[in-house]
Every structure is written in structure tokens, then in C-alpha cells.
Amino acid sequence: MSSPAGPAGPRTTPVTRSVTGWGRTAPTTARLVRPVSYDEAAAAVRACGARGGIARGLGRAYGDAAQNAGGAVWDMTGLDRVRAVDTEAGTVVCDAGVSLHRLMEVLLPRGWFVPVSPGTRYVTVGGAVGADIHGKNHHVAGSFTQHVRSFDLLTADGAVRTVRPGTALFDATAGGLGLTGVILAATIALVPVRTSLMTVDTERAADLDDLLARLSATDHRYRYSVAWIDLLARGAATGRAVLTRGDHAPLDALPARARRAPLAFRPGRLPPAPRGLPDGLLGRRSVGLFNAFWYRRAPRRRTGELQKLSTFFHPLDGVPHWNRVYGRGGFVQYQFVVGLGEERTLRRIVERIAARRCPSFLAVLKRFGAGGPGWLSFPSEGWTLALDIPAGLPGLGPFLDGLDEAVAEAGGRVYLAKDARLRPELVDVMYPRADAFRALRAHTDPRGVFTSDLSRRLAL
């Protein structure tokens, strides 16, 4: 796992080591190769051997999407050049291993921001395309690849193709989990900003009905919107939540002192979470107390609060290696989406999670806008709920299988970049274009060069 602090240095010779996703479950061993040029990347693909290879960025995929047992894992963080910023057109051309954190450092002082940011800045551009990430602005801006003008893809035949939107290869690669090739570089359209601060409105929702009503009625007024939901609250309080919504602050919203350097980007960082924390630190009681405190701490209603960009978008990035707090048993993140009109399914699932008392303190609910063209892309119009659960919770596997059934029946899907446990039979139900995806892979990569634990597990 590469640390957010940066790669350890060039690794031209492969190292064999154990690899897991961010959730730290299901470790497997692979040969790690870190190409630092396009030629080295092409050579690595050619030399991958019988068990294939998969590109990996900063290891923030929760499950097994960026691991490849017995084969090669290409650490792409060595390809880290920001090659050109066009401040006229508002685009950036950069290598696939560049992180969104780095892009923010480069772009914010120039008055530009990334079009889509997930809950962490420590994802690479290649990973952002491969997972077709979404952010708090999905309801107005869509997912990451909808802002990608083109990318360079190293395919199984060793050739590099410039792939543009509207082509089958683009749509298969957007959210394609690295299984169509290795992304080497991308051109991304940016968003202009005047300041590096956010104006944030906070409000509490007393229960799930209240939350959905508020999101339905007023979400369109905000560029960014997300709700933290207390999944341990039961009874009348089921689904109580804190909504935080906002936009980039205009210059005149800043106090005089901050106006001197309105585009400064200084995210704070705490010391990392220690290694070797015990399992069960996040039990029902501790998480329940935290959730109650967090809910009550939030103001009933507050408008126009100025927050640092990092506080609003990436609160957890302040604690490096926060995934260690789940202990060595690790954790799974469960994220699904169901369409508008499926509120009953959403409610049933929230009630089941609440009744089961899953200790989840990072549960997030959001309203997605229309989905993009990616064949395996996750976001689609409707409601999405994401929650972290300790993997060691007894009976969690069958419980989540039950939720999968409800999601699939409602025409919804789970997020494959976060998955580590989906029943393979459900992939085709949830992703009707999975067959087209397999057919394209069979055509462009007949030897199965691009292989991951996820592709083996889900037969993709």
C-alpha cells in the first residue's frame, strides 16, 4: 500500500509483497513493479506473465480491484507529471499517477479546481477514471469521466491509444476497474474557483423522511451536497442525519485578512493512526455514542459558514491511515444506489441496518443525478448510501447478501470499486452491460493480460 505521504522511491526491480485494498481484507501476494516512464509501463505489460497484471494507484479502492494474486501489480504513482495546464481552456493534461491532492496544489493557486472530488484527495487520476469516481456534486456535475476529454490507454497489444468520449473503449474504461488497459495520461476539464474556501449550510434532518424531503426539495440549489446519516438511531429517529451543502466561496464572502491569499491551499494533517490497533475498537457502544454526539453537535440550521476546502471535502484525509482503526480484521464499505421512486427499498435497507445495529459511523447518503455512459460505471440517478462496517462482525456476509438482493430487485447496484464480497451471479443483474464489457475484453485482450482479484472473483 503506498502511503499518502508519497511513494517510497523508484522501484524498477519487482518486489513480491502482500497487497490489500483500503479495507485491508483478503490479502494476496503479487509482484509489484513501479514504472516511471511510458516505456517502462509498456515493458511491464509485455513482461507480465501468465497471471497478468493490474494497475494500482494510491490503494484507496476498498476491495480487491487493484490486487492481482500471483501476478503483477503496476504501481502507477511513479508516473506523476502534471504536463500542461491550459488556464484559457480550463484543462489539465497529466500522467495517470498524479493524485487529486497534487492537482489541487497545482491548480488552486491558478484559480482552478478538479471537476469531481471524492471523500479523499489521495486517489490518482488513473484510479479516478477506472472507478469513475463521484463526489458531492454528482447531482449537478455527474461523475469524473464525464469531465475527461481524452486519455491515453496502454492496451494488451502494447500499443498506446488516445481514447475519446463516445467510443466503446472509452465507455468500457470509464469505471472499467483497469481491466481494459493501463491509463497513462488524461486530459481533464476543470472548474474555475475564486477562493479555496467553501460556504457551507448545515441542517439537521430528524428522520429519513425528513432527510429525503429536504434533499428532494432543495438539493438543486447547491453545487455540493451530502448527508451524514446515523444508522444506529432506531424508532422515530431512524435515518436522522446532518446535511452539509455548499459551494465554492466567492471572493467577497471572505474576511479581509483571507482575501490577501484567497486561493491558499493548506490542508492540516494529524499524526497517522497507529499500527496494530485491536479489533472491535469501533463497537456498537462506542460508535453509538459517537453518532449521538455527532448528531447533536451539528447546528439545527447554520448558513454561510466558511470552511476550508479540505474540511468540507476530505475530513478523513487529516488522519493518515485511518483505515487502521478497524484493527487487523479490516472493514468493508458497502455502497449501493437505487433509483428515484425506490425510496421504500432505501427505507427498508436503512431499517434493516438500524435493526441489526451495524456499528457504522461513516454512513453517507446522497442524491445522484443522471448516470454517465460507462458500462461498469456505478452512479445512476437515485439515492446512494455508503457505510463502513468492521469485517469481523459475525454474520455480516449473509446480511449484506440480503441487502444485495433487495438492491438488485429494485434495479439498483453496488459499487464495484468498493466491493470485496458481492455474489458473482448478481453482477449481470446490477450491471446489464457487463456482457458487452466481457465481449470487448475478449476482443482487445484475448490472453487476459489485465487481470485482478476482482475480475477473477466476479468473472468479469
Partner 1 sequence: MKDAFGSPQSLLVLGGTSEIALATARRLVARRARTVWLAGRPSPALEEAAGRLRSLGAEVRTVAFDALDTGAHEEVLGKVFAEGDIDVVLLAFGVLGDQERAEAEPATAVRVAQTNYTGAVSAGLVCARSLRVQGHGSLVVLSSAAGQRARRSNFVYGSSKAGLDAFAQGLGDALYGTGVHVMVVRPGFVRTRMTAGLEPAPLATTPQAVAGAIEAGLRRRSEVVWVPEALRPVMGVLRHMPRALFRRLPV
The span from the CA of 329 to the CA of 45, in Å, is: 33
CB atoms within 10 A of CB 166: 8
Long-range CB pairs of 82-87 (<8 Å, 24+ gap) are 82/106, 83/185, 85/110, 85/112, 87/111, 87/112
| Residue with smaller CB distance to partner 1, 324 or 457 | 457
Q: Which of 7, 14, 70, 165 binds partner 1 (CB under 8 A)?
A: 70
Q: Which of 5, 10, 12, 17 binds partner 1 (CB under 8 A)?
A: 17
| Residue with smaller CB distance to partner 1, 366 or 441 | 441
Q: Which of 392, 411, 426, 428 binds partner 1 (CB under 8 A)?
A: 392
Find out whether 453 and 64 touch, Cβ atoms under 8 Å: yes
| Residue with smaller CB distance to partner 1, 71 or 127 | 71
Find out whether 11 and 32 touch, Cβ atoms under 8 Å: yes
Per-residue binder mask for partner 1 (CB under 8 A), 260-279, x = binder: --------------------
The span from the CA of 132 to the CA of 115, in Å, is: 12
Q: Any idea which residue has 469481523 for its cell?
A: 392
Question: In this structure, what C-alpha cell is assigned to residue 318?
Answer: 487529516
Q: What angle do CA 330, 345, 400 make, to 5 degrees?
A: 25
Q: Which of 79, 287, 391, 460 binds partner 1 (CB under 8 A)?
A: 391
Find out whether 246 and 311 touch, Cβ atoms under 8 Å: no
Distance of closest approach, residue 114 Cβ to partner 1, in angstroms: 30
Q: Is 398 in the site for partner 1 (CB under 8 A)?
A: yes
Q: Which of 101, 138, 214, 421 binds partner 1 (CB under 8 A)?
A: 421
| Residue with smaller CB distance to partner 1, 48 or 249 | 48
Q: Is 83 in the site for partner 1 (CB under 8 A)?
A: no
Find out whether 77 and 57 touch, Cβ atoms under 8 Å: yes
Q: Is 51 in the site for partner 1 (CB under 8 A)?
A: yes
Q: Which of 96, 417, 420, 449 binds partner 1 (CB under 8 A)?
A: 420
Q: Is 63 in the site for partner 1 (CB under 8 A)?
A: yes
Largest CA distance in the chain: 62
Distance of closest approach, residue 53 Cβ to partner 1, in angstroms: 12
User: Total binding residues for partner 1 by CB under 8 A?
Assistant: 33
At 203, is the secondary structure helix, strand, or coil? strand
Contact range with partner 1 by CB under 8 A, out of 138-146, 306-314, 389-397, 440-448: 389-397
Of 146, 152, 143, nearest in space to 189 by CA: 146
- DSSP string over 128-182: HHHTT---TTHHHH--GGGGEEEEEEE-TTS-EEEE-TTSHHHHHHTT-TT-S-E
CB atoms within 10 A of CB 446: 10
Q: Which of 109, 283, 299, 397 binds partner 1 (CB under 8 A)?
A: 397
| Residue with smaller CB distance to partner 1, 22 or 313 | 22
Distances (CA, A) of 172 to 30, 104, 254, 286: 25, 27, 43, 42
| Residue with smaller CB distance to partner 1, 20 or 187 | 20
Binders in 288-347 for partner 1, by CB under 8 A: 329-330, 332
Any idea what DSSP says for residue 108?
Answer: G
Distance of closest approach, residue 393 Cβ to partner 1, in angstroms: 9
Distance of closest approach, residue 332 Cβ to partner 1, in angstroms: 5
Element (DSSP H or E) covering residue 106: helix 100-107
Find out whether 190 and 112 touch, Cβ atoms under 8 Å: yes
Q: Is 52 in the site for partner 1 (CB under 8 A)?
A: no
Contact range with partner 1 by CB under 8 A, out of 65-73, 246-254, 348-356, 364-372: 65-73
Length of the chain (residues): 460
Q: Is 223 in the site for partner 1 (CB under 8 A)?
A: no
Question: In this structure, what C-alpha cell is assigned to residue 374?
Answer: 460507462
The span from the CA of 227 to the CA of 244, in Å, is: 6
Q: Any idea which residue has 470487448 for its cell?
A: 440
Distance of closest approach, residue 449 Cβ to partner 1, in angstroms: 17
The amino acid sitting at 296 is R
Q: Is 25 in the site for partner 1 (CB under 8 A)?
A: yes
Contact range with partner 1 by CB under 8 A, out of 68-76, 107-115, 160-168, 218-226: 68-76
Distance of closest approach, residue 244 Cβ to partner 1, in angstroms: 30
Question: In this structure, what C-alpha cell is assigned to residue 180?
Answer: 481494459
Per-residue binder mask for partner 1 (CB under 8 A), 429-458, x = binder: ------------------------xx-xx-
| Residue with smaller CB distance to partner 1, 20 or 377 | 20
**Where along the sequence are the contacts to partner 1 (CB under 8 A)?**
16-18, 23, 25-30, 51, 63-64, 68-71, 329-330, 332, 391-392, 396-398, 420-421, 423-424, 453-454, 456-457
